[in-house]
Structure 1
């Protein structure tokens, strides 16, 4: 079931988009985005479903990535991906020990 971005996800995607070639196009419609949680063992990855894209979607480009720490001290790589049409595709969250994310430590968001 799709849902809106959480406040933390919205902040993180904004952080990753800012200063990229995709910022002008994607930031203004970020609050309209719907996502579904991915089966990643509760690490926190979500897939986007932009309202304007109905065709079959596939990976297009990695927009930005950042290394963060989880509350338990483990490193987490967060990557923002767009599809072949330049629309938001995934917010990929990968925790180095593959355990569930407890509480990502995002600068200026905690």
Structure 2
């Protein structure tokens, strides 16, 4: 997940299978119910975060702003460095961001989602 993917940032893109699994886990953990159709139609926009992989959930609205963190997950990157993935909601309670923070601020290589038994 690197900043090289930013040219599509205006139109957005669908979630990768790993991103979809992470988002489903975080939605379930936050007791937020979204349909499979919503998830399949979802588009995201990579955020400028130094290659850690944070995503803005589309569509964006003019007055949309951060509301609160709904849930988070601690997971290891493939290099063994811890990563925190958070689902943030906007001020209206809608999914807003999938925030990815690698604790050493280096780019994410690949999240080891297989190490989490309930994802």
Give unpaired runs (5+ residues) of structure 1.
none
Give unpaired runs (5+ residues) of structure 2.
1-7
CA–CA distance in 1 between the matches of 2:75 and 2:64?
Answer: 28
Q: What is the TM-score with the length of structure 2 in the denominator?
A: 0.80
User: Residue 36 of structure 1 aligns with which residue?
Assistant: 45
User: Residue 87 of structure 2 aligns with which residue?
Assistant: 80
Shift of 1:86: 1.6
Q: What is the TM-score with the length of structure 1 in the denominator?
A: 0.86
Shift of 1:20: 2.4
User: Residue 18 of structure 1 aligns with which residue?
Assistant: 28
Shift of 1:88: 1.2
User: Residue 73 of structure 2 aligns with which residue?
Assistant: 66
Shift of 1:54: 3.7
Instruction: Provide the aligned length of Structure 1 versus Structure 2.
Output: 105
User: Residue 95 of structure 1 aligns with which residue?
Assistant: 102
Q: Is the 8 A contact 2:29 2:71 kept in 1?
A: no
Q: Is the 8 A contact 2:30 2:70 kept in 1?
A: yes
Shift of 1:56: 2.0
